[in-house]
Amino acid sequence: MLSDVTFDVREGELLSVVGPSGCGKTTLLRLLCGLTPPSDGSVLFNGKAVMRPPREVALVFQDYSRSLFPWLSVIRNVMLPLRRAGLRRGEKIARAEAVLQEMGLHGVARKYPWELSGGMQQRVAIARALVSRPKILLLDEPFGSVDALTRTELQDVLLRVHGDFEERRVTIVHVTHDIDEAVYLSDRVLVLGSAPGRLVASIDVELERPRVQTATRSSPRFLAVRNEIHDVIASREREAGHLGV
């Protein structure tokens, strides 16, 4: 449940959303992409109300094992969003192969998802979202089901997608429980409070790009922003506990 959540997403921005469990982060994504209609207020895309999922928006879920079809090969999974794109089959295959190459998935097009590691499956899920060349990419804790090393690799893949994919700047809204991940990836971080989910802070990250795992995470600015977000969440949780919410 959400209440009084108002914000803008700038074109080309990588925006992360953090907050305690149950604060409505996934609900927020569903509202943004038109899967859930708002009970009050509105969601606007280029000034027009979002009434159903726009073609320009793609969504990647956390659970890649459920979002990929195990009976389809990797390339057929990736080609799914192109079914109604008005392209010839050869064009669809070429576009799918190109995005697989961009995602570092060399030589796996004819394999099936269950033959790949978790990290590679999530790359396939991201490739499928990107093949339709969306203007906005929504990510619902996309790295929550992989191990720590794979998670850092996928974070860097996402940064490359954001800045360099086919020389296009994709707008990304990324939901995560991981404060460090949010700071490392983002231009800005929104903090939601719980019961009901409210927007309690919008924090500009202002870290230099390109970002490097060790150097960026050890910089004074990274640590300052990370601690600021942690303190905001902890303070809100203490207030909620004190009020008996």
136 backbone dihedrals φ, ψ, rounded to 5°: -130, 130
- In DSSP terms, 175 is beta-bridged to 17, 140
Using a cut of 0.85, tell me whether the model's pTM lies above it: yes
Structural domains in the chain, CATH included, are 1-56+135-245 (3.40.50.300), 68-133 (no CATH)
- 3-class state of residue 17 by DSSP: strand
Residue by residue, pLDDT tens for the chain (245 residues) are: 788 899 999 999 999 999 988 888 999 999 999 999 888 889 999 889 998 888 899 999 878 778 899 999 999 999 999 988 889 999 999 999 999 998 889 899 999 999 999 899 999 999 999 999 999 999 999 888 888 998 999 999 999 888 755 556 789 999 999 999 999 999 999 999 887 788 999 999 999 999 999 999 999 999 999 999 999 998 877 776 644 43
> Which stretches of the chain are DSSP H helices?
25-32, 64-67, 74-79, 89-102, 118-130, 148-164, 179-185, 213-217, 220-242
Cis previous bond, 81, omega within 30: no
